[in-house]
C-alpha cells in the first residue's frame, strides 16, 4: 500500500496519477496565462470564474484560446493556490524531494512544501489597493483605513472578490459604517 493510498483511501496506478497531474498542470498553465499580470480582476462566486468585462475576455482569449472553457468555469482561488504549490518552481532535496513519478513520497513531500502566495493574502490585497491609487490615494484616510480593514481575512476576501468597479465604494461604505 502506497502512502498516497493510505492518505486518501484510493488506489490509483502510478500512470493514472501522472496523467491526472499532467492534465492539471496543463489546465493550470492555461489559467495562469489567461490571467497574466492583470491586477484588479474580481472573482464571480456565482459563475465561479474571473469577473471581467467582455472586451478583456475577447482580448485574452485571442492570446490563450485554450482557456475558452474558463469563461464559464474558472479555477477557484483556493484551489489555484494549491495548484500553485504543486506546479510553481518548487525545489526540494533529499528525503523531502517528490515528483509525480514518486508517488510513495507524496505525503512526505507535501508536508514540507513552503506555501506560495495565498490569492486572498495581504500582499495580493495591497497590490490591488495600490492599483486603485486614483480612487484611494496613498496618503488618504481611506487608504490607511483600507490597510487596517484588509488585515481581516473575511473583509480581504470580499474586497478581492467583488467587482473591481465597486471596490472603492465598498471601502468608503465600510469606513462610514465603522
Question: Where are the chain's structural domains?
Answer: 3-89, 122-177
pLDDT band at 40 (very low <50, low <70, confident <90, very high): low
Percent of the chain with pLDDT over 90: 22
Cα separation, 145 vs 172, in Å, equals: 9
Whole-number pLDDT of residue 12: 82
Q: Which residues contact 173 (CB under 8 A, 6 or more apart)?
A: none
Cα separation, 127 vs 137, in Å, equals: 14
Which of 52 and 92 is assigned the larger pLDDT? 52
Which of 42 and 135 is assigned the larger pLDDT? 135
Closest CA to 147 of 132, 162, 161: 132
Whole-number pLDDT of residue 44: 77
Whole-number pLDDT of residue 39: 67
- Phi-psi category of 104—alpha, beta or left, where left has phi over 0 and alpha has psi -120 to 50? alpha
Whole-number pLDDT of residue 113: 41
pTM comes to 0.48
Closest CA to 71 of 82, 62, 79: 62
Amino acid at each position: 500500500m502506497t502512502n498516497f493510498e493510505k492518505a486518501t483511501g484510493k488506489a490509483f496506478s502510478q500512470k493514472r496519477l501522472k496523467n491526472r497531474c499532467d492534465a492539471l498542470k496543463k489546465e493550470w498553465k492555461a489559467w495562469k496565462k489567461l490571467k497574466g499580470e492583470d491586477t484588479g480582476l474580481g472573482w464571480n462566486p456565482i459563475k465561479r470564474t474571473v469577473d471581467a468585462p467582455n472586451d478583456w475576455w475577447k482580448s485574452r482569449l485571442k492570446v490563450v484560446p485554450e482557456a475558452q472553457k474558463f469563461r464559464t468555469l474558472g479555477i477557484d482561488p483556493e484551489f489555484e493556490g494549491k495548484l500553485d504549490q504543486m506546479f510553481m518552481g518548487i525545489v526540494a532535496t533529499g528525503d523531502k524531494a517528490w515528483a509525480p513519478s514518486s508517488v510513495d513520497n507524496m505525503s512526505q513531500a507535501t508536508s514540507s512544501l513552503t506555501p506560495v502566495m495565498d490569492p486572498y493574502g495581504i500582499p495580493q490585497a495591497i497590490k490591488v489597493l495600490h492599483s486603485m491609487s486614483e480612487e484611494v490615494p496613498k496618503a488618504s484616510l481611506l487608504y490607511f483605513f483600507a490597510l487596517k480593514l484588509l488585515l481581516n481575512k473575511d473583509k480581504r476576501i470580499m474586497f478581492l472578490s467583488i467587482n473591481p468597479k465597486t471596490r472603492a465604494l465598498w471601502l468608503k461604505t465600510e469606513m462610514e459604517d465603522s
